[in-house]
Amino acid sequence: MHELSLANSVVQILCEEAQRHQIRHVTRYRVEVGLLRAVVPELLVTCLGFASKGTAVEGADVQMHEVQGRARCPDCGLEFAVDEIVFLCPRCERVGGEIVAGQELRVTELEGE
């Protein structure tokens, strides 16, 4: 269950940012999670609750935003949606290419008092 490890990292980042901005208690934050990251968003939210116990983030409202996977074909340059790490270009049928979105895990917003 790598979601717990990811949750611990997210909470650490949130606590550091809260301290840097003199926020005593985080009330809401938003996390972007790429669909190609192999993360179960509901499980990540649960793990964030456990990881935040006793911190400035405890009890904060979590908003999860899922980012669709996108890839770019190095041969024809087409950018297209993908659901898996292994993919085929729909235009030229080349196997593989560059993943340009969908592997994110980042905090994009933080609110507190």
The alpha helices in the chain, defined as continuous H runs, are 2-20, 41-51
Q: Give the tens place of pLDDT for each residue, 15-52.
A: 999 999 999 999 999 999 999 998 998 999 999 999 99
CATH 2.40.30.170 fits 2-69+102-112, yes or no: no
CB 89: neighbour CB atoms within 10 A? 20
Q: Give the tens place of pLDDT for each residue, 47-73.
A: 999 999 999 999 999 999 999 999 999
Q: Of 101, 104, 34, whose CA–CA distance to 66 is shortest?
A: 34
Q: What SS3 class is residue 24?
A: coil
